[in-house]
Amino acid sequence: MRELYPEIEPYRTHRLAVDALHTLHVEECGNPAGLPVVFLHGGPGAGISTYHRRFFDPARYRIVLFDQRGAGQSTPFAELIDNTTAHLVADIEAIRERLGIERWVVFGGSWGSTLALAYAQAHPQRTLGLVLRGIFLGRPQELRWFNEADGGASQIFPERWARFLGFIPPEERGSLLDAYWQRLNGTDEAVRLAAAQAWSAWEGGSTTLIHDPDAPGIFEEPQKAVSLAVMEAHYFRHALFLEPDQLLRDISRIRHIPATIVHGRYDIICPVKSAWDLSQAWPEAALRIVLAGHSAADPAIVDQLVEATDQLADRYA
């Protein structure tokens, strides 16, 4: 099976002011003359990690990564003002223009797949290809699946769910999203952090195929927990700032663009039905369902993502 490319450091970083409030952290890795690709991280609010650079052949790709508004090293931290899907789509275009890139590959997983689809549908003329992992279309049933007691995920990881549920008093459990939001949006910093860590432990510990209910998640660090939980609750409360079924409705705008969809058969955060629905609306895209969970680090998903980026490099580089 294919593995990630070796670790690599950025050859250039940028601070890009996209409006009077928000400034983005942007980094470039790989070959400055290579095939441009933009990496869209998950969450919203998760930020970029060093391993995200490694899905691309550094000899053939000019790899652009950035922390979305409110996440990672972008500022202000966890800021919700002027933070919507439309703002993020505009930010991607601002980065492309700032870097002098005519067209590029768009790579995104989980929420990053949502944003990648929204961007490509808004700017198909700028999109050379799409690599999408862990499809999340932002539909009501997808939001309920992982975030509410009647959604389904609670029955698969009951030990971890009990801790997520237990943070909220019984009388407020009719809408866990609203109950968590009240705490994440409050003024008590201790309560805000505790809520963020409970939220992030539920999600961050549910990503891999091999599940240990007592293992720490991938979002335990306090700052990452806060940005993830606050940003996700904000976006989820607003249906990801998308119109109903928008991403499936507008698929005709991008059906001509080469695309690979990679999804874990046992993805509990984003069930495989979403990838299937996308592939039915977009039969030209290559669908790869593999023995994996949600995590981009699961070996079968790494294998397919690296193959997809290598194929696009063979085609364009």
Whether 28 and 134 map to the same domain: the answer is yes
4 three-class SS: coil
Same domain, 60 and 129: yes
Flag whether 262 is in a domain. yes
Of 267, 298, 303, 310, which is the active-site residue?
A: 267
Contact 110, 282 (CB under 8 A): no
Question: Which of residues 196, 222, 240 is at a domain's end?
Answer: 240
Task: List helix spans (H) across the chain.
Answer: 85-98, 111-122, 140-147, 158-166, 176-184, 189-204, 222-237, 246-249, 273-281, 299-316
- Over residues 254-306, the pLDDT tens digits come to 999 999 999 999 999 999 999 999 999 999 999 999 999 999 999 999 999 99
In a domain, 214, yes or no: yes
Q: Are residues 126 and 219 in the same domain?
A: no
List Cα–Cα distances, 159 to 62, 153, 225, in angstroms.
Answer: 43, 11, 20
Q: Is residue 3 in a domain?
A: no
The encoded tokens of residue 290 equal: 């593999």
Q: Which of 22, 41, 52, 294 is catalytic?
A: 294
Residue 6 within any structural domain of the chain: no
Same domain, 123 and 191: no
Domain boundary among 205, 240, 275: 240
* Global confidence as pTM: 0.97
Position 4 in a domain = no
DSSP state, 108?
E
pLDDT digit string, tens, across residues 184-241: 999 999 999 999 999 999 999 899 998 888 887 778 888 999 999 999 999 999 999 9
Cα 268 to Cα 152: distance, rounded to the nearest angstrom = 9
Residue 154 DSSP one-character state: G
| Residue at a domain's end among 213, 240, 267 | 240
Do 99 and 187 fall into the same domain? no
User: What pLDDT is attached to residue 296?
Assistant: 96
Residue 79: which residues within 8 A CB-CB, separation 6 or more? 21, 22, 69, 70
64-90 residue pLDDT tens: 999 999 999 999 999 999 999 999 999
Per-residue pLDDT at 216: 78
Residue 312 lies in a domain: yes
Whether residues 126 and 250 fall in one domain: yes
Please say if 211 is a catalytic residue: no
Strands 12-17 and 23-30: antiparallel
Quote the mean pLDDT of the chain.
96
d(CA 281, CA 247) in angstroms, rounded, equals 10
CA distances 161 to 185, 195, 205, 215, Å, are 22, 14, 10, 13
pLDDT the model gives residue 219? 82
User: Which DSSP string do the residues of 205-261 spell out, in sequence order?
Assistant: TS-SSS--TTS--S--SHHHHHHHHHHHHHHHHTGGG--TTHHHHTGGGTTTS-EEE
pLDDT digits (tens, 9 = 90+) for 143-175: 999 999 999 999 999 999 999 999 999 999 999
Query: Which CATH number fits the domain that encloses residue 119?
Result: 3.40.50.1820
Query: What is the domain range of residue 200?
Result: 141-240
At residue 218, the pLDDT reads: 77
Catalytic residue among 52, 57, 110, 227: 110
For residues 131 and 245, state if they share a domain: yes
Cα–Cα dist 154/303, whole Å: 29
Overall number of domains in the chain: 2
Looking at this protein, which amino acid is placed at residue 174?
G
Same domain, 308 and 208: no
Query: Do 111 and 150 lie in a common domain?
Result: no
Number of other residues whose CB lies within 10 A of the CB of residue 11? 14
113/246 same-domain check? yes
At 220 the pLDDT is: 82
Q: Are 134 and 55 part of one and the same domain?
A: yes
Are residues 163 and 54 located together in one domain of the fold? no
Write down the pLDDT at residue 65: 98
The amino acid at 97 = E
User: Has 267 been annotated as catalytic?
Assistant: yes
Residue type, 316: Y
